[in-house]
Structure 1
């Protein structure tokens, strides 16, 4: 009997060469990139949780949607989040989710999941650079800028 297993891959869609990856210097850079790439038809309908995957020079390798939820929340399975980070060989991440309501204040759940991810990332030598809340009008809230990361 032959032993067969599935091969697991991660793919990069779009073919952007590393020389053209966007460098993140400030929260505004990340917020602009996220907003430009967010589906404008759904940003004010339901919450989604995404991560920006970065290399050692803070250049964005890609963006990945971790979850899509309802009107007032989305569940984040950190096992799936870290599976993506590790498989993409990223050394840093920026967390992001949207608030369809336009409210820029993080909830207690937002703060708790950020801290949980940060603790797990530290164990794996992955930097959590920021967590952004993006709203439909293009505004954002940065956990780092506000001193809660």
Structure 2
């Protein structure tokens, strides 16, 4: 950076404040130990009116003991896809001081198999998670009648 001779007015610099205010104690939150439990929590949380209508991407934030800290909706798209910004995925996790995350999205078509785009996105987010020491434990594709787990299928 080049040195400037003009002074900087600190009143023009925004202060950033991060906070996380849980309303429920950690012991009262659901604990997830397998993909089936993750699916059940996600399915209860998901807006049932949009499950078979538009694609949404959500991230489940977990404590070190796999208690659900929260679920954050990252994006909502159309009938055939949604845009996922990695910064938004990990901003929520970092703000909640999560120890790990589970990625999730629905396929309005009901087809639970991942597309090549789903696989590429998953690999990219897993790589970013490693760099941040914030592991991605799974990526669940869900529908009303079941789910697909990247972890169960050995794709993580």
Q: TM-score, normalised by structure 1?
A: 0.92
Question: Structure 2 matches for 1:1-149, cutoff 5 A?
Answer: 3=11, 5-9=14-18, 15-135=23-143, 137-149=144-156
Larger Rg: 2
Unaligned runs of 5+ in 1: none
Deviating above 3 A after TM superposition, structure 1's stretches of 4 or more consecutive aligned residues are 6-13
Unaligned runs of 5+ in 2: 1-8
Secondary structure at 1:74's aligned position in 2? coil
Is the 8 Å Cα contact of residues 22 and 59 (structure 1) preserved in structure 2?
yes
Structure 1 partner of 2:5: none
Q: TM-score, normalised by structure 2?
A: 0.88
1:140 to partner: Cα distance: 0.6
Secondary structure at 1:117's aligned position in 2? helix
Is the 8 Å Cα contact of residues 20 and 95 (structure 2) preserved in structure 1?
no
Is the 8 Å Cα contact of residues 61 and 70 (structure 2) preserved in structure 1?
yes
| Cα distance change of structure 1 residues 105 and 11 upon mapping to structure 2, 3 Å threshold | same
